């Protein structure tokens, strides 16, 4: 254990949990956007704590591993920044817009510093300490909203939500905490397939499922079963076949993502959703308004990070009657294409689905690669209808999972994926 002494270890974990909990409380809906961002900055003290311990102890056992993951994650962020700056310059964007885009990216680099700090201090245990921090914040939000709406009305609103009410109201609406809710999907994947078989695991799994359902993000409720299904299938494969399967699905995801952009541009997506009576909640109208801003062409260079927000603002100014009502596209896949362009889109997809998975398998084993693969599959499905790509805590937990698991030490308490699934050797 990198932290000498049981008491010191517990103190560090408690400090980590309290700092992350304080930062996560910013997602309570009583706070403004600026207040939420300021509260997220509280998590910077986690980095300070890790830096202080590194300076005092001089222990470097986990630094190399944590730094290698941060380097892989950071490379793509730097690439997006460099490409965006180039596009901002040639498109002569305003300084205010450039600063706004750069400030949002600063939070993604803060995420990298936090996962480095957590993994350095606690190894695989960082997954649990992160879970406790987020779950504690979620529990405090439950208590606060119960006080606001009352216990009886709160229970009724949750029942109405579960029974399929078209509109969430009251307590249920207040507990639709976008960012934190998505993180529980990652924890469920880890706790079901990878965590050691302990009572703590069972308790954390039950809490994760409770908060995941309470958050009621429909796309997440659809995406997670898909990832779990793939986990079950992969659990019955031999390791070499499992690796080949992940590589095949990775390339399929890249190609399907581009196809998704094409069918959206051509109007086929609208035709399909209308044919099957799927309510896109106004997304088809938004796609019509923005279709003139991009082309399916090798020469399409994109506009740079955050430019889809500018496009939507321009549409609302030029056409006040436009039925948009949002300042974000709610489709990360299309957003990536519009902002990074044709080549940038393919580069990002291949880096995410092919390079990163292969790198983790080659350096940290196929189980680490499988954990990232399943987590990426789950969250990638949400990209089709949401903006989860740059959510702060969602990004944090997604990137922390394989990094922390790279420190996993096999024991007799390891589970075999599922008790009734016998892994083939």
Contact 111, 396 (CB under 8 A): yes
CA angle 74, 349, 261 (to 5 degrees): 135
Domain membership flag for residue 11: no
Residue 93 has pLDDT above 70, yes or no: no
Q: Could you tell me the pLDDT band of residue 420, with boundaries at 50, 70 and 90? A: very low
Domain membership flag for residue 424: no
Domain membership flag for residue 324: yes
Q: Which of 118-122, 141-145, 254-258, 415-419 has the lowest mean pLDDT?
A: 415-419
Domain membership flag for residue 129: no
Domain membership flag for residue 242: yes
Model confidence, pTM: 0.94
337-383 pLDDT per residue, tens:
999 999 999 999 999 999 999 999 999 999 999 999 999 999 999 99
Residue in 356, 365, 352, 410 with CA at minimum distance from that of residue 239: 365
Domain membership flag for residue 261: yes
23-46 pLDDT per residue, tens:
999 999 899 888 998 899 999 999
Contact 161, 172 (CB under 8 A): yes
Residue 75 has pLDDT above 90, yes or no: yes
CA distance 2 to 25: 29
Query: What pLDDT score does 325 carry?
Result: 57
Domain membership flag for residue 416: no
371-384 pLDDT per residue, tens:
999 999 999 999 99
Q: Which of 86-90, 192-196, 421-425 has the lowest mean pLDDT?
A: 421-425
Q: Which of 80-94, 196-210, 231-245 has the lowest mean pLDDT?
A: 80-94
Tokens 């965006």 appear where? 84
3-state helix/strand/coil string of 302-333? CCCCCHHHHHHHHHHHHCCCCCCCCCCCCCHH
Share of the chain above pLDDT 70, in %: 92
Helix or strand or coil: residue 168? coil
As a whole number of angstroms, the longest Cα–Cα distance in the chain is 65
Residue 167 has pLDDT above 70, yes or no: no
State the total domains in the chain. 1
Domain that holds residue 344: 235-390
DSSP 360-401: HHHHH-HHHHHHHHHHHHHHHHHTTTS-GGG-HHHHHHHHHH
146-158 pLDDT per residue, tens:
999 999 999 999 9
Domain membership flag for residue 329: yes
């Amino acid at each position: 254990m990198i932290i000498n002494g049981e008491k010191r270890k517990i103190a560090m974990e408690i400090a980590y949990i309290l700092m992350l909990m304080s930062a996560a409380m910013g997602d309570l809906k009583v706070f403004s956007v600026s207040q939420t961002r300021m509260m997220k900055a509280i998590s910077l003290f986690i980095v300070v704590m890790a830096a202080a311990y590194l300076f005092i102890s001089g222990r470097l056992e986990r630094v190399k591993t944590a730094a290698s993951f941060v380097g892989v994650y950071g490379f793509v962020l730097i690439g997006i920044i460099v490409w965006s700056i180039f596009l901002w310059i040639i498109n002569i964007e305003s300084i205010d817009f450039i600063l706004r885009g750069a400030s949002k990216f600063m939070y993604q680099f803060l995420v990298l510093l936090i996962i480095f700090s957590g993994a350095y201090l606690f190894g695989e245990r960082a997954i649990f300490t992160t879970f406790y921090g987020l779950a504690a914040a979620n529990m405090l939000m439950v208590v606060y909203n119960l006080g606001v709406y009352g216990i009886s009305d709160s229970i009724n609103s949750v029942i109405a939500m579960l029974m399929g009410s078209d509109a969430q109201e009251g307590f249920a609406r207040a507990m639709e905490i976008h960012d934190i809710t998505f993180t529980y999907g990652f924890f469920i994947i880890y706790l079901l397939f990878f965590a050691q078989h302990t009572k703590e695991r069972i308790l954390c799994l039950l809490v994760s499922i409770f908060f995941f359902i309470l958050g009621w993000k429909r796309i997440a409720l659809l995406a997670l079963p898909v990832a779990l299904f793939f986990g079950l299938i992969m659990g019955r494969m031999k390791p070499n076949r499992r690796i080949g399967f992940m590589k095949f699905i990775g390339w399929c995801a890249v190609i399907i993502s581009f196809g998704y952009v094409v069918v959206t541009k051509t109007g086929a997506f609208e035709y399909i959703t209308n044919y099957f009576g799927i309510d896109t909640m106004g997304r088809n109208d938004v796609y019509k308004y923005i279709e003139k801003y991009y082309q399916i062409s090798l020469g399409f260079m994109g506009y740079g990070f955050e430019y889809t927000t500018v496009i939507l603002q321009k549409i609302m100014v030029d056409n006040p009657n436009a039925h948009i009502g949002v300042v974000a596209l709610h489709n990360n896949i299309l957003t990536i294409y519009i902002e990074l362009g044709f080549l940038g889109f393919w580069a990002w997809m291949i880096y995410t689905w092919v390079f990163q998975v292969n790198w983790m398998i080659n350096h940290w084993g196929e189980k680490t690669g499988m954990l990232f693969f399943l987590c990426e599959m789950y969250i990638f499905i949400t990209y089709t209808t949401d903006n989860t790509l740059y959510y702060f805590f969602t990004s944090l937990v997604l990137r922390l999972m394989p990094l922390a698991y790279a420190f996993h030490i096999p024991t007799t308490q390891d589970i075999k994926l599922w008790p009734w699934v016998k892994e083939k050797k």
